[in-house]
Structures are given as C-alpha cells and as structure tokens.
Amino acid sequence: MYLDNAMPKMTKETMQFVTEEQRDLLFENVKKVYEMHVACHELMGHGSGKLFERKKDGSFNFDKSNVKDLLTGSELTTWWEEGETWNNKFGDFSTSIEECRADICGFWLMNFPEVYETFGFTEADREKNYWVSIMS
C-alpha cells in the first residue's frame, strides 16, 4: 500500500490550535501513525463487513451451533440474508456508515499490542499514537 499520495500534507506551519510541543509531536509521528491507522481502517474496518449469511438453500456459511456472539456469548440471532447488501440495507447512508465503521475499527485496533508492535511501536507509544491519530 502506498500512502504518500493520500496522506495529509501537514507542515508545522499549517498546524493550528495546538501548542508548539504538540505541533512537534504531531510532525514527528504523523506519517508512521497514519500508516498504522489506515492499515487498520482499510484491512480490518472495510474488510470485516459481511461475515455471516444464510444462503438461498437455508444453510449458513458458518457453524451456527458453535459461533457465538463475542459480546454476549450467546448464539447469533442475526445475519445477512440472500441478496442483502450493505447498500440495500442502509440506503443513502451506507457510504457514511461504512466509513465511520472502518474508522472506529482503525482507532480501536490501534490499541492492541499485536497491532502496534507489528508497526514497530511499543506499549510506551500507545497513548501518544492514539492522540496523534485523532489529531491528524
């Protein structure tokens, strides 16, 4: 993935509403942190949309008796039906909702050691990187 053409062209002179110390922190870290956030946003955010579905013949593309809701531990009660798409379920808001979902995934995943270590960061960098990502 090549991000230089998509990354905001941030210079110290164009940064507003931050202290000089914050400006230095942003300028020194924005590129590497942006790469980590965009990877999480694109690969996991957009890449995790349509996971569970009931097929035309009534069967599922997952083992319904063994796959559990990660938050409640109970069996799944919702899934995509045959022919449903993101656009026909969410209509005019589908693109906005999808981008919001992907961004939330990006921000959330940046806090996991497996993710930030993959990008060469340590636990000591986590809070700083999160701030830099939100501010950029």
Residue 128's DSSP bridge partners are: none
Residue with tokens 């590129």: 31
Which one of 13, 21, 42, 99 is the catalytic residue? 42
Active site residue 42: yes
Residue 62 neighbours by CB under 8 Å, 6+ apart:
51, 52, 76
Terminal alpha carbon distance of the chain: 19
H/E stretch holding 22: helix 20-39
Q: What residues are labeled active site?
A: 42
